Structure 1
Amino acid sequence: MMSPTAILIHVNDIESGLSWYKKAFPAAQERVVDGFRYLDVDGFHIEIVWADAKVPAGKAGAVLYWSVASLADEMERFLVLGSTVYRGPIQIENGLGMCQVTDPFGNLIGLRGPYSAS
């Protein structure tokens, strides 16, 4: 069986990246292994790494969606952190909605949860 274990978030400033993602994911615990710092969210790793010529920061490629208790509340919380809404929100199945918000480095974070378009 396969299951996701980590996401690499490419940034141009590791300290700023760790600081912002700690605020964005307040349940995350910072861990250090052999000098490498990352955030642990219930066993899932958010690994803040240097953007480079091979993998720059920004809006290109896959977007990981996080399950949230209220899409509207989380969108508002991310806006307070300086995010902008990049796509959505849109209503999807079973009373859920989804959207994408930005981080300060140009990457996208997907949010998915209960939502009413009214």
Structure 2
Amino acid sequence: MFRGFATISYFADDMTAAEAWYTELLGVPPYFRRDHDGAPAYLEYRIGDYQAELGLIDSRFAPHDVKNGPAGVIMNWHVDDLQGSLDRLIAMGATLIEGITPRGEGFVTASVTDPFGNVIGIMTNPHYLEVLAERGA
């Protein structure tokens, strides 16, 4: 079911400060940016050997409360069948956080909490498939 790591998402209240901090930390600027009301709402970096995606999301767009408890990291696993994978997770006792949500250009996500309170993100991710194809796997 899980094909591999696709995108990890962190949340931040101050996206301008987060962009500066992560750009300095990673040594590269975000390759993708989506603004909302003139400020960054989503930033994405590709990092590491497999060009893994690190997404920074403005906290106001978080699918869960990030102010009263752990902000939560949504680590999205690439899956080939998003609806089937989501159905299976729910059938196994997971609780829906956010249903299937298009994010643009073939990127579609959903998230649940497992029976133990952990957030599991799943997604279809064209970038993951491109990297896989380049590696000949």
TM-score of the aligned structures, taking structure 1 as reference length: 0.43
Q: Which has the higher helix share?
A: 2
